[in-house]
Structure 1
């Protein structure tokens, strides 16, 4: 096997750390990794045989997409050398980002790819525009709110977007890495997938899902709209977009979930994609368990103002929620096969 490839079906390691949707929060990622003693202060791997599963959606909505992606890619070979691993799953926002669907890209994400000279010109022009919005040098009159207009100007004028597109493209380093990310994986009795796995897609098996993903990328789509609507990368009920288990509780939904777990030889599904505070009685900053412990939701809204973040630590037969303050609380037990 290529040493750069991820092992998609394996026994459950002694310690697994599950990090939900990152939303371009590189600072949060570093805080979590340091708090769990997985990296040193100078950024070297110190997690030994720990396996990290990042549930996808590293880019978009935040200020540090490039930094977060670069860190995960840099740490992966170091973790594997130590007997651990980092498994970054493909999320829908990775697909959007490499296929020019930039609706969720922030100005700060573009600017991570800009030159220092471009940033300096941008800051100068932004300051001039901000003075205009403040009504200066006008001395008298009503000054309307400027936040939305200033943000719109930033989105329109942020430098670095062409370099961003080149790096995320099919020949760019980040774009190439994203196109190789796995869609789903199993560890012992646990199934990990970004959005959720329907019976239709579960029938392909883990290796079959990987093959379907490769076939979709092999068609070399340039834009998101080039992807076939029912393909694994775009299907609304596909593994990247599925939300049914997270949002619904009907008997038919539970039946589908049990069918998928049986088909994959697992007992519990771990997902990201749908925030825990989008579901009653979930709340931001806390992992949520549904369907009698069969579904574990990891997207806790990392990077939200006032939220310190939380991750799942799986060891000694149980899921525990961990926060950077060092607190731990049991979420649910790992169901044996």
Structure 2
């Protein structure tokens, strides 16, 4: 009968043989296959290999070889689902999130998506304001428990309500709060207002690959100061935002309610600058004495002390209201978009706000995607969601020994009865990349 030490030794040797025999170092690693972080598995294996040898003896197997197997490169996948304006309709929102795989039949997070993104305008034109915002916070907690993330955005209607512009508030919706005063409190210092302040931003930069960091890591990155240099040709020189040594630098998506105008003055660093201004403006609105709502009272406007940059954020050229990507001609839009993508470190801009009741609109080969399809019954538009499947697959090394990868991105419009592919792109990338 074999001793425990010999049994353990044989198990390790067999594992190493199988890994090398079937090229597991070129396909999903042993650690990934077991669902265990490679670093954690290696932390267990390395001391075990020494312990089996006994005091003062060499490891029982070649440690370097084992480490190579346990840290083998593996495919990476990321799935993102985004939904546009919901405008007070819980039923249609639940239908969309269910057929897109974000939630199950009971409205609970499924774990099928890594990220769920909602681009604002949850409030107004319907009676389900409280239910919708409470549901979003429930999904946020459920997603976090499974490693998922919910990214929420303020739309122009959220900011309108914070200002006191209630032109699109139904009287029946006010009744769900109990009174005008109760609604004002809920949206300012109450639980909906606190959720806006804590969990909602004006815009997001969502990396497709973790090498770029977590969501909303600023671009240009702080450790690349050359990207900030400007010269006489800076306005026309987009190449300064690209670095041949960082082939994934723009492997990210931007999300915003209205749009990122090419002439908006606070794009960089993205999204840090815009979100700081949005947080400051929201704080001013929520913590002033709440004005009587308009109508029937006069339009209250922005609060005293609002800065020029905060006011620009809310004007027609700002990210809450801009519609140029939907209304400009193709030649102008497709020329302008290159500059904004370069400056924001992204490859696609995704937004709501300007509805097309027939479906999701893609322009300039998917560099501009508009996802407001009038989901609410107030519009009677198409029920839709945007789905992005991203994969990053190892394919061996090049002649210099550098890792080679295939990066693939499939962007689809999802509807109740069909799926339409908007973009399907693939390219080879060479380099070492961080996966955490």
TM over 0.5: yes
303-312 or 236-245, which deviates more: 303-312
Query: 1:134: which partner in 2?
Result: none
Please state if 1:332 is matched with 2:332: no
Counterpart contact for 2:206–2:254, Cα < 8 Å: yes
Counterpart contact for 1:197–1:260, Cα < 8 Å: yes
TM-score normalised over the length of structure 1:
0.73
Query: 2:370: which partner in 1?
Result: 297
3-state SS of 1:296 partner? strand
Name structure 2 gaps, 5 residues minimum: 1-75, 208-251, 292-299, 391-408, 430-436
Distance 2:388 2:137 in 1: 22
Query: 1:310: which partner in 2?
Result: 384
Counterpart contact for 2:88–2:132, Cα < 8 Å: yes
Distance 1:253 1:321 in 2: 21
Aligned-pair CA distance for 1:54:
0.3
Which structure's relative contact order is higher, taking Cα pairs within 8 Å and 6+ residues apart?
1
Query: 1:26: which partner in 2?
Result: 90
Distance 1:250 1:78 in 2: 41
Query: 1:202: which partner in 2?
Result: 267
Aligned-pair CA distance for 1:226:
2.2
Aligned-pair CA distance for 1:240:
0.7
- Of the three residues 315, 330, 333, the one matched with 1:235 is 315
Aligned-pair CA distance for 1:13:
6.2
Distance 1:267 1:192 in 2: 11
Task: Provide, for residues 69-90 of structure 1, a one-character-per-residue CA deviation record: whole Å limited to 9, x for no partner.
Answer: 1100111011011111111111
Query: 1:178: which partner in 2?
Result: 196
Aligned-pair CA distance for 1:308:
5.1
Please state if 1:213 is matched with 2:293: no
TM-score normalised over the length of structure 2:
0.58
Query: 1:225: which partner in 2?
Result: 301
Task: Provide, for residues 150-197 of structure 1, a one-character-per-residue CA deviation record: whole Å limited to 9, x for no partner.
Answer: xxxxxxxxxx3222111112x111012123411111223311111111
3-state SS of 2:193 partner? helix
Please state if 1:259 is matched with 2:339: yes
Aligned-pair CA distance for 1:306:
5.2
Distance 1:204 1:108 in 2: 42
Distance 1:300 1:71 in 2: 21
Distance 2:415 2:112 in 1: 20
Aligned-pair CA distance for 1:312:
0.8
Q: Taking structure 1 as reference, are residues 230 and 254 closer, same or farther at Cα in structure 2, changes over 3 Å only?
A: farther
The aligned runs of 1:148-163 (5 Å cut-off) are 160-163=179-182
Please state if 1:191 is matched with 2:264: no
Please state if 1:288 is matched with 2:361: yes
Q: Taking structure 1 as reference, are residues 13 and 104 closer, same or farther at Cα in structure 2, changes over 3 Å only?
A: farther
Distance 1:59 1:335 in 2: 38
User: Which structure is larger by alpha-carbon Rg, 1 or 2?
Assistant: 2
Distance 2:103 2:365 in 1: 34
3-state SS of 1:211 partner? helix
3-state SS of 1:168 partner? helix
Counterpart contact for 2:410–2:425, Cα < 8 Å: yes
Task: Provide, for residues 50-106 of structure 1, a one-character-per-residue CA deviation record: whole Å limited to 9, x for no partner.
Answer: 311001000011221221111001110110111111111111111111222110111
